[in-house]
Amino acid sequence: MNGSSELGDFLKSRRAALHPEEVGITPHPTRRRVTGLRREELAILANVSITHYTRLEQGRATSASEGLLEALARTLRLTEDETAHLKRLARPAAGSSRPAPPRVAYAGASARQLLAAMTDVPALILDRRNDLLAWNHLGHALLGGHLAAESPDTPATRPNLARMLFLDQRYRELYCDWPDQAQLAVASLRLVAGRHPDDRALAELVGQLTMKSDEFASLWARHPVRTCTSGVKRLRHPLVGTMELSFENLIIPGSSGQRLIAYTAEPGSPSEAALRLLPGAAAGLDRFPAPDRHGVLGG
């Protein structure tokens, strides 16, 4: 993932998404060939040099001031996440541009102990790429009952939630609002890619998903950027039915971006009743057919 091209592609995607009418420009009905803002229109509205903006979008600018980036962010109406992403792309951290060799991550002993102690709450530990490093009994029953419980323990069989969302039909069918979840997953990966442009394993994951999923490729090309630390998941579980669960992402200090995710239901709700039935329902069934090494059923 080349930083200069990523910056240019991100700016182009945001120009295309901003219609001239939204910023007070009345386009000529026959002379306009683009749907969004032209480069020169954006530069004028942001009060920046057209030449400098063009060099920035083409990856030929060697510097970008805070004022210039703030002006572009305001004009393009970027969110807080998108603005931070723009600044990271425009001013990457110093260091080698060569992708670093993938590092195999493992959940720490204390984090695993905490996970195991959460007996009434589905929980799991992910790394920044959404590789599943560990889950407790309820987390496995909720999100991956068709996978081997020990699959996170070995890198060769370790599931990745982003990969599963697009390539694993059973995991995909869990989500009542799959399109929204898919867009959020891609937006989160975009954010991580901006923070870690030299992450070879992440680049390989994106490449694989782009090749194997047209839906992922289409979403990735739109350059969505968003972080999500909490919210609600609406799940359609094959054993206990529909549930609405709140989730929280808790960053594990000193773990290079690992996070613990826990799911809870509103007390006294049908979702809480379904969640309480889940352990018994899961224990009463044989495991579904084993997936391949990537956590994908049916090859």
In terms of Cα–Cα distance, which of 122, 76, 108 is closest to 223? 76
Mean pLDDT, rounded, for 92-110: 66
In terms of Cα–Cα distance, which of 142, 107, 155 is closest to 259? 107
Which amino acid would we find at residue 4? Answer: S
246 strand-pairing partners: 232, 264
242 strand-pairing partners: 236
Q: What is the architecture, at CATH level 2, of domain 109-283? A: 2-Layer Sandwich (3.30)
Distance CA 180, CA 193 (A): 20
**Greater model confidence, 13 or 295:** 13
Supply the pLDDT for residue 98. 55
Q: What is the pTM of this model?
A: 0.79
Task: Residue 290: count other Cβ atoms within 10 Å of its Cβ.
Answer: 11
Supply the pLDDT for residue 290. 42
**Greater model confidence, 94 or 134:** 134
pLDDT at 99 > cutoff 80: no
Mean pLDDT, rounded, for 212-221: 96
Q: Which two tokens stand for residue 146?
A: 């068709």
User: How is the chain split into domains, by residue range?
Assistant: 3-90, 109-283
Beta carbons within 8 Å of 190's beta carbon, 6+ residues apart: 85, 220, 223, 224, 225
Task: Residue 208: count other Cβ atoms within 10 Å of its Cβ.
Answer: 16
CATH of 3-90, one of 3.40.140.10, 3.40.228.10, 1.10.260.40, 3.40.50.11260: 1.10.260.40
